[in-house]
Structure 1
């Protein structure tokens, strides 16, 4: 099989490639992201890639940098095992979050062109349905199909109850209980891994993502660490994002664990995750009801009647406020960028007007 086809190249990508004048460039897929350097799979094999100076300059004014899973335009350097990345093909899907520690809204791309996103949470003290709701919003916003994996089932006595709880907060989303230690649920996971299909894993630190990669790949390609017994928290085992070709077909992206998931934007994910609350809210007296202390609030009534979990409503309101704040930050950042553009262009316009007038007077 063609090397690129193993890594997800298809007739659709071929058609998209042929629509543009790519010159002497060739397609390649980013398999690992090390910041300034990337590993890129080509028809001849894997090589190192770096962005061209022109591409770096263009990205300084905005836009997401290349990510694992991206298809890129690559110029291979003759006689060397490296190449220059000149562009990124339009992404089919993109998994992103708000970049941590930034005052302005900035997108951090986690992986691109992913078909299925495994949302992993371990069945120990780290188990948290409210966190899973946030991961689901990220998945739906990204345009990928989410699948929930409840890992480390060997550490839990009520795995079935927790699976049922997850099914309630994620209607229609597959939920699988797995244990790499006891080889439980492997056939359910591998059913998603087909030729050309890209699957990514995400979750908090220590939830078992790297263990799942090794378990599925039947290798020790990813390092793992034990979690702390005191609080079931793990350390970052995976330090970079990497895409693996699996022996049974399909591709898997492992990503570093997240201490905290900050959502970047909302493209209908909030409404899709909280469909129950959105449906109940249609019965509120006021269309802009915040479900706090307004009169005739159907959502608050549902909580009082025991039809809706109070914690789920709290998370809905918290996430809604967070997304609105992110939108405001993004709008402020855009206004600032527009002002900077004007401040640069204005002296140029004044200088141009001066010379035009002088040439006219001297003429």
Structure 2
């Protein structure tokens, strides 16, 4: 994917080439100290093995990331960052990157429980969900929690809509996802026919969007439909289970013909939370609304008297599945945070000891014939 070049030598010029991929006056002000050092502004479009491709006013350059590779995995440079690059040299170096406005982060599958940043400075998080397989509402909730926590606006796109020819069935599937994603727009698209892609293109034309989803969700095909060209390689999903192959292996920033930019990501096998309590609360906003009416402010919504959340479940106003998913994600997020927060870890251990002691006492009472 080529990016436009510019004849302007000033990064503050309104006609600056980077305006098409998100450069604005606020970024220019942030970059001013680096401009005084003679460095060039540019946006990272790809990172690979200690090097990255950066779009500058001179065009796309290859730069070394040795100066921006700290031990903290959340501080390494990534696709979407705005970088300060040397104007010449062999190799060129990225000397720094600007503070991020938003960052999409998940936990890795390693035992060290590290966070992994997938994309930076994103306005829209487009979550691709295939209609070729049964909907996994729990996974959608995970993606949404991370999206809300990142600071981006989530958007759920149901792909391969042509595989659900019955409009009634399709409407029910959309309704299920809308219930799962309060406050989030849900679109249905067919990348092969172009149905629905015009609406999506209009949404993502106003900024930077990251395309997320598991392998086989149709992300690469959807990216090609938005780009109007076969830019991303596409492979067919397995017929046995609808799972896809990892066609995209790196995160790439691509300029869209209708405006805006798209960051395409590899299919994610795991969607682990990373310090996303606020994001979880946003996904389950209806539960938080009910919780405001509970008798106790620290109600756990398990068996407490006067629990408005449990009352909502009993009345049918709240689905039991939603409450169970809410509890599960909060527990998971708490475990992740506890691994890096000594105080919280101590509180969890204390609660565990109290519950264990209570359980032993109840067991002893039962064995002794007492209630």
Bin of the TM-score, shorter chain as denominator length = 0.7 to 0.9
The 5 A counterparts of 1:115-134 are 115-134=123-142
The verdict on how the C-alpha distance between 1:276 and 1:29 changes in structure 2, with shifts beyond 3 A counting, is same
Cα distance in 1 for residues equivalent to 2:65 and 2:256? 28
Cα distance in 1 for residues equivalent to 2:209 and 2:23? 15
Q: Which piece of structure 1 moves more, 126-135 or 113-122? A: 126-135
Match of 1:9 in 2: 23
Cα distance in 2 for residues equivalent to 1:243 and 1:62? 20
The 5 A counterparts of 1:83-232 are 83-104=92-113, 106-156=114-164, 157=166, 158-194=169-205, 197-232=207-242
TM-score by length of 2: 0.83
Cα distance in 1 for residues equivalent to 2:64 and 2:85? 9
Cα distance in 2 for residues equivalent to 1:308 and 1:242? 40
Match of 2:288 in 1: 278
3-state SS, counterpart of residue 302 of structure 2:
coil
Segments of structure 1 that go 5 or more residues without pairing to the other structure are: 336-363
Cα distance in 2 for residues equivalent to 1:289 and 1:242? 44
The verdict on how the C-alpha distance between 1:333 and 1:51 changes in structure 2, with shifts beyond 3 A counting, is farther
**CA deviation map 1:336-363 (0-9, x unaligned):** xxxxxxxxxxxxxxxxxxxxxxxxxxxx
**CA deviation map 1:162-212 (0-9, x unaligned):** 1122222222211111011222102111112436x1111101111011110
| Aligned partner of 2:321 among 298, 311, 335 | 311
The verdict on how the C-alpha distance between 1:91 and 1:253 changes in structure 2, with shifts beyond 3 A counting, is same
Cα distance in 1 for residues equivalent to 2:107 and 2:36? 32
Segments of structure 2 that go 5 or more residues without pairing to the other structure are: 1-14, 346-371
Cα distance in 2 for residues equivalent to 1:208 and 1:194? 20
Is 1:28 matched up with 2:42? yes
The verdict on how the C-alpha distance between 1:77 and 1:142 changes in structure 2, with shifts beyond 3 A counting, is same
**CA deviation map 1:88-128 (0-9, x unaligned):** 10111111111222333x22110001111111101122422
Q: In angstroms, what is the RMSD of aligned CA positions?
A: 2.1
TM-score by length of 1: 0.85
